[in-house]
Chains A and B, each alone.
Chain A
């Protein structure tokens, strides 16, 4: 298939969608599925099938995440030339009502007596089902499930990576093409040299979204300049931070975007083989990426002579076995090679000697997903979003004590206050905001007095936290910080690979000290010891996991010292003060 043929497929799909009277989008991401979206989707499918008449064409699209995970399952109904309506907490009964409200059943063939709607997910008795749908039309309980699209949760977001998420069927390449998919790849292959691509990415200011924030353009250029017969691209989908699910969602909702970014990267650095390293706990993401690879291969987008050009690229999936440390690039490389995932000393960096000693680019899923948009819209467009040093947007998994939790994409430089109070809808109940924890077990806690800090790489690092991969946990004042720090410390104790001493033994000792403090047996000098031990682990550990493991303790020690002090004086006081 060449560029024109690709265009034709996209246009055809666009025309088909334009002809439809309406479309119902049902979120089938992991979060909504666990809330029962599977049944909702089947019900929608059945109801639409039954209510369809010849001149009335509707389809049900199963999409990836729409963002508002706390209100799942989420369904969006779009009628032709009308504003879309979004419904939250949908169950099969409400699904019937949604269909009958937007796409009413013309006539009931048979009157039925029962007031109970037919909730069987596979209706054998179609007339009965139609009647039930007709009855549902009259009901109004659906109104309280309507979510306003004017809510700050949506209006404050800027969606670049997530622009198609929740709007396309992740299992259909045609749908992605209809939304401008693979245009970036086509542009790169047709009009740009690898060097130009690297420059474009560099000028866009895109920085690694895995947490460290290394400029991607520089990384790509390193690999491009290496002279080697074989180079690799690896997409890091081993998202291990507790509470973070940005990469999972992107892979589930828009797998082709990740593939496209990966291929643009491969073209830029001169690689012809790539691996998507996905953690085994994400079966749906693995399945959808695999489907995407198959579809892309079938359409000639992936494989030998991509779209009729001289560029060839093959992609493969590698599944992680549940080690947190495999998110570290050298450990990940070992894992892809089939070895035990343990980090190694750097340099040499993977850009010089990576997978099987070949120069390798490793980028996070979100970083790769940014690439197609940058190429399509240009570096300047992207650089206009965000702050001076942190460009573009960042996807966060917003969790914790908030009214709205879910997946959000915000421009860099937005303040924490906007995220917490506008997008997140504030703290529920009569509780107060206490701290925001960014970056998972590698990050730190940011107290209320820094709520107006812009969220970008530099500002967060200055506060002793990190941008991290995008986990953002909001804590209210019912949480005691030493307990909170202990949770993350225990996570690091369990996930330490055992290779280097400070991380393996140091984290255990920090955890023991925290235990001692929390149980009320701590002495004032234990606090100094805790601080010293944290500093030591931070400066002497081998990889990023160990170096950042003490961050939750250090940052809570810095901002919530009084809680630790009270523990040392009298544990009962702090308990009483908080609860």
Chain B
């Protein structure tokens, strides 16, 4: 089949135009009022809404006034229509939201002075903004479970506001569906199957539920009681575990990492991380961590880089328990190490031919790096002896 002419369809971008707080806003059909507002830096109070998750509509905090609608309507599930006129802030909405927060704190302890989440808690933020010091209703804690049945995060149900973000992230993003709502009415809570321990559920301990939790109901174990949000230093970095290159942020106090989290501006991963990225950072400050290339002591002695010689023991090094790496290896700089490897590789190929060597690439490298590596072996050296650790 030959294409005689380019058959690209000219697609006209259709935009809806609506007014939010007097500001004319353009948005694509199918987007919600919440999305349109956030895209235009109009902040609408929200607790159960999360941009990466489906709409719940449970917290009722994002109610807005729509012209022609009798009652305030939640903006998270409200589809934009052309010519809509929306008000996100006015006295009536402020009072409605104030009443909603008043009800929230009727079952949420206001012990913010000792709470780890203080400073980044969404409920605290909105209570402050709406001037709620305490509930005007009768306070009663419906949920009192405290579950620290795993080494990664603590589930403190008294702080849970049942926004359902954790349930949705587990189901929709992670696909584990380890937790869901259980019980009705006053007994409603987030539970694993039959309220069993986390390890017996389908949980993979990725901690994305901890990430999206707006309150202190889910907190990393590593940070408990170690520092307040505003005392922490934050370092943005790229996760070194695999080639995906997720962006993450370490929160440190006095040089010690307290927890890792993703930031919403990460181009690859958004707010999501896997178990390794989120919890596997203890190597960073481990005294045994290698920070420079190491050269075997006998080779280094031959090259005149060290004064002490060393001979390879007859017994396999694998059988030696906890070998002292300082005995058998010498730290060198990258140039020395790479030059040595290049020389040895070239020598071997010259003497025994290209098929005498093989290359094994790492999943920690990016696609591009892996591509270059096979290029080096196939073209530079001339062998197809090539594999990748992910295939082992």
Contact = CB atoms under 8 A, between A and B. Distances in A.
A504 B188 contact: yes
A413 interface: no
B106 to A, nearest CB: 6
B137 interface: yes
A493 B55 contact: no
Contacts of B354: none
B186 A493 contact: yes
Interface stretch (B5-13, B97-105, B148-156, B316-324): B97-105
A340 B185 contact: no
Contacts of B162: 498-499, 501, 504
A536 B136 CA distance: 14
Contacts of B184: 323, 325, 494-498
Interface string B61-84: 001000000011010110100000
Contacts of A347: 77, 79
Interface string B295-324: 000000000000000000000000000000
A345 B77 contact: yes
Given A340-B180, A498-B183, A504-B188, A345 B74 contact: yes
A540 B63 contact: yes
Contact of A499 (B76, B140, B164, B186): B164
A502 interface: yes
Contact of B185 (A342, A495, A536): A495
A507 B137 CA distance: 12
A146 interface: no
Nearest to B76: A345
A453 interface: no
Contacts of A495: 184-185
A496 B187 CA distance: 10
Interface string A527-549: 00000000010011110000000
A499 B58 contact: yes
Contacts of B100: 501-502, 540
Interface centre among A498, A504, A507, A508, by most B CB within 10 Å?
A498
B138 A512 contact: yes
B56 interface: yes
A375 to B, nearest CB: 36
Interface string A483-513: 0000000000111111111101111110010
B107 interface: yes
Nearest to A341: B184
A314 interface: no
B56 A499 contact: yes
Contact of B56 (A340, A345, A505): A345
Interface residues on A, range: 20 to 34
A344 interface: yes
A542 B138 CA distance: 23
Contacts of A340: 180-181
Pick from A342, A345, A346, A501 the residue with the most CB of B within 10 Å: A501
Contacts of A508: 140, 142, 185-186
Contacts of B96: 536, 539-540
Interface in B99-141: 99-100, 103-104, 106-107, 137-138, 140
Contacts of A541: 60
A504 B59 contact: no
A512 B142 CA distance: 14
B166 to A, nearest CB: 14
A505 B107 contact: yes
A448 B104 CA distance: 39
A148 to B, nearest CB: 46
A542 B58 contact: yes
B57 interface: yes
Contacts of A500: 57-60
B185 A542 contact: no
Contacts of B74: 345
A495 to B, nearest CB: 6
A157 to B, nearest CB: 37
Contacts of A540: 60, 63, 71-72, 96, 100
A342 B181 contact: yes
A191 B77 CA distance: 43
Contacts of B59: 500-501
Contacts of A539: 71-72, 96
Interface string B157-171: 000011010000000
Nearest to B47: A501
Interface in A6-65: none
A45 to B, nearest CB: 43
B188 A505 contact: no
A536 B76 CA distance: 19
A100 B382 CA distance: 107
Nearest to A497: B184
Contacts of B186: 493-494, 504, 508
Contact of A497 (B138, B142, B188): B188
B181 A499 contact: yes
A501 B160 CA distance: 12
A542 B107 CA distance: 19
Nearest to A493: B185
Nearest to A344: B57
Interface in A170-218: none
A536 B98 CA distance: 11
A190 B74 CA distance: 47
A279 to B, nearest CB: 15
Nearest to B182: A340
A346 to B, nearest CB: 8
Nearest to B135: A509
Interface in B311-346: none
A92 B138 CA distance: 56
A494 B184 CA distance: 6
A498 B167 CA distance: 13
Contact of A505 (B79, B104, B181): B104
A506 B103 CA distance: 7
Interface in A87-113: none
A542 B103 contact: no
Contact of A498 (B55, B103, B104, B181): B181
A496 B106 contact: no
Given A344-B57, A345-B74, A502 B185 contact: no
A36 B130 CA distance: 61
B390 to A, nearest CB: 35
B99 A536 contact: yes
Contacts of B76: 345
A344 B55 CA distance: 9
Contacts of B189: 498
Nearest to A506: B103
Contacts of B183: 498
A509 B106 contact: yes
A152 B76 CA distance: 54
A345 B57 contact: yes
A442 B59 CA distance: 22
Interface string A300-332: 000000000000000000000001010000000
Nearest to B55: A345
A499 B189 CA distance: 10
20 contacts: A340-B180, A345-B56, A345-B77, A347-B77, A494-B185, A496-B185, A496-B188, A497-B185, A498-B185, A499-B58, A504-B162, A504-B185, A504-B188, A506-B103, A508-B140, A508-B185, A509-B138, A512-B138, A540-B100, A541-B60
Given A509-B138, A536-B96, 4 more contacts: A344-B57, A497-B188, A498-B185, A509-B106
Interface of B: 55-60, 63, 71-72, 74, 76-77, 79, 96, 99-100, 103-104, 106-107, 137-138, 140, 142, 161-162, 164, 180-181, 183-186, 188-189
